[in-house]
Chain A
Amino acid sequence: MIRLEKRPQPSKVWGALTPVLAVVATMIAGGILFWMLGKDPLEAIRTIFWDPLFHETFGPYSRPQLLVKAGPLILIAIGLSLGFRAGIWNIGAEGQYIMGAICGAAVGLAFYPSESILIFPAMVLAGAIGGWAWAMIPGVLKVKFGTNEILVSLMLVYVAENILASVSQGLLKNPDGMGFPGSRNFRDFPAAYNTDLIEGTGMHWGVAAAFIAVILAYILLTRHMLGFQVRLTGEAPRAAKFAGVNPTRLILFCLGTSGALAGLAGLFEVSGPSGQVSIDFNAGYGFTAIIVAFLGRLHPIGILLAGLLMALTYIGGELAQLMLGLPGAAIQMFQGMLMFFLLAMDMLSHYRVRWKAPVAAQEGAK
């Protein structure tokens, strides 16, 4: 008989192992799924996880793409992880991502076709402020009126989507676009274009910012008082209170930081890979980043790896559709499984599995 026993402390070993186990379990379950669809499971798994990196034809293109896709995921997830650690749930990163993109792009487009080198830094600043301000709405509502930040931040995603639709067809619409919605393309605006720092590597400013965010978050959490307060609030809220943590400050800090980082991610995306403000500019990075944050165990290094892995499944997934004719929905299911297995296996870090004969059976045997 299997029994679950709650551990006094979550196991560190299992905490580190479960993401790896979840990936393996996803590969197995995904392989079965692909097999049932009539595809060779090993080939499918190889196409998703191996070919984007090492295939001689696709590799040279996919490797840089990996950074392009992982950059925004990591940047957003790092911000979210701070709040998640302290029990502050910003679910609306997608909205902050959109608002960052709109604000940043608007600043850039306002100066079209200037060639000043100050434009891009100004856009970056505006992007961060846009995301920060959008996250401050649930923040201020929470500290002033005790509203639930999960609900408010999530609902603001839909508001942001509508603002995006509106500016794509109005305020930021390309005046030379023959009436079609969508802003000017930043590719045609060199001073504001977020291009590769080193040609052909995919390494644009957003990816650089993601790496910097990982390092800063690591230092913050391990070396800084504020980081200690974040961790303490999450792990022992009562102790945090006694230790003099100011909850208002912490809430505003966590929401503001995650909003600013999401806004930055949006700005780097709109001025680079995506290239223009359009009605469906947002592609779900803000939501996927939540998975990335948890897959990375809310740890900066973990998030870095998880972001790269998630990006790999996106690129490999497209490749699998193309090369093996796997349906798009099967790829989405495969990504969903990853989250499912991760949550399921979380049990192992919080509980101990014990084999025990039931007491009644033992007595009956006497």
Chain B
Amino acid sequence: MRVLKSLLATAALATGLAGAAMAEDKTKVGFIYVGPVGDGGWTYEHDQGRKAVEAAFGDKVETVYVESVSESNAEGPITQMALSGADLIFTTSFGFMDATLAVAEKFPNVKFEHATGYKQSDNVSVYSARFYEGRAVQGHIAGKMTKSNIIGYIASFPIPEVIRGINSAYIHAKKVNPDVQFKIIWAYTWFDPAKEADAAKALIEQGADVILQHTDSTAPQAAAKEAGNVITFGQASDMSDYAPFPRVSSIIDDWAPYYVARTKAVMDGTWESVSTWDGIGAGMVGIGDISDAVPADVKAEAEALRDALASGEYHAFTGPLNKQDGSAWLADGETASDYGDDGLAGMGFYVEGIEAEIPSN
């Protein structure tokens, strides 16, 4: 027994040393995922970003990841990753925020990047994408395409990012179709095919013939396909398996350029804590191919809108806009600011016209 123990200990030591030796030559980049890499949406796209890092630097990097990490229990996996010698760690869900900061404090030499959060520190950067720009294009197509004038929206959690998306989609749907009405279901999950399918079916039963989703699985696409006359949009990922119908377009998160750039910064020793918020223009948000199910004129308008957002000549939140309670928000021609009171970063209200309430607010 003692022989066995010492053998095992030697083996453990050897692998430990090998790991440490390897870490010296290679830059080790870790990823903490909230869902499985095969979710076909949010986590899938982050994992594509990880693969892009591998492709860009080849032997010079080693990437590792832990998937399906519970948001209330993330400190363990993040700590283990830091212990394993990671130089740079991306934590890719809002709920990892406090855990990321807590671990970062214990590992001042490791760089951390937290997606979609708002707490920064010396070794924690935050980054997010202006998904609401994509929602504007989506809203435009949805408003034009709906026949029942009821658009269903599967929301995840009532946080600013999701509320921004609902507002942006609504504003642009309403602009092209004044009779449009939004029905919103809160799923309280980022990824749960069963719950998402239930939500989609409930919305279809209430007369929705367009389903927008802020959850990551393809279950709503499947439900729409079954219903036959309902259109959907890919979320986070292109979801092109459901093209050209029901999926008529998509919002694609493209994290690859950012991940590659940040890894490069660590390699060059130029990494600094930053706050990044990029949109269509910088390529962090992509609009997936608009399929033939969309009439050519609508497609052309949507593409023009996309290009205007990308060039910055149009802002998705341009006044005149009122808040849901009727109070003024943006004056004619005024655009929303990112931060501050009523800024986009902490958006906690609906715009005028949405007939729903943000839960518990």
Contacts and interface: CB of A to CB of B under 8 A. Distances in A.
A39 B84 CA distance: 19
A318 B188 contact: no
A318 B70 contact: no
A328 B66 contact: yes
B70 A283 contact: yes
Contact of B159 (A179, A187, A280): A179
A216 to B, nearest CB: 28
B327 interface: no
A322 B361 CA distance: 39
B68 interface: yes
B8 interface: yes
Contacts of B73: 273-274, 283
B67 A327 contact: yes
B12 interface: yes
Contacts of A318: 66, 76-77, 80
A178 B118 contact: yes
Contacts of A280: 70-72, 95, 188-189
- Range class of the B interface residue count: 35 or more
B76 A279 contact: no
Contacts of A276: 98
A187 B102 contact: yes
Contact of B98 (A56, A58, A65, A185): A185
A58 B83 contact: yes
A56 B12 contact: yes
A321 B72 contact: no
A285 to B, nearest CB: 10
Interface stretch (A25-33, A163-171, A243-251): A163-171
Nearest to A60: B83
- Range class of the A interface residue count: 35 or more
Given A56-B16, A318-B77, A318-B80, A169 B36 contact: no
Interface in A263-291: 273-276, 278-283
Interface in A166-185: 166, 169-171, 173, 178-181, 185
Interface stretch (A6-14, A46-54, A302-310, A337-345): A46-54
A232 B360 CA distance: 49
A55 interface: yes
Interface in B332-353: 345-348
A61 interface: yes
B236 interface: no
B169 interface: no
Contacts of B160: 178-180
Interface in A26-74: 46, 50-51, 54-58, 61-62, 65
B171 interface: no
Given A54-B12, A179-B346, A274-B72, A61 B79 contact: yes
A165 B71 contact: no
B170 to A, nearest CB: 19
B67 A321 contact: yes
Given A169-B360, A180-B159, A180-B160, A57 B83 contact: yes
Nearest to A321: B66
A170 B360 contact: yes
A319 interface: yes
Contacts of A179: 159-160, 346-348, 361
A281 B73 CA distance: 8
Most buried by A among B68, B348, B360: B360
9 contacts: A46-B11, A57-B84, A62-B80, A166-B360, A169-B361, A275-B98, A278-B71, A280-B188, A325-B64
Given A51-B12, A165-B359, A179-B347, 19 more contacts: A46-B8, A56-B12, A57-B19, A58-B83, A166-B359, A169-B158, A169-B359, A170-B361, A178-B160, A179-B346, A187-B98, A273-B75, A280-B72, A280-B188, A283-B70, A283-B72, A283-B73, A318-B77, A327-B36
Q: Ordered nearest first, which 10 A-B pairs have the shortest CB separation?
A: A170-B360, A179-B348, A169-B360, A328-B68, A328-B67, A178-B346, A321-B66, A283-B70, A318-B77, A274-B72
Interface of B: 8-9, 11-13, 16, 19, 30, 36-37, 64-68, 70-73, 75-77, 79-81, 83-84, 94-95, 98, 102, 118, 157-160, 188-189, 345-348, 359-361
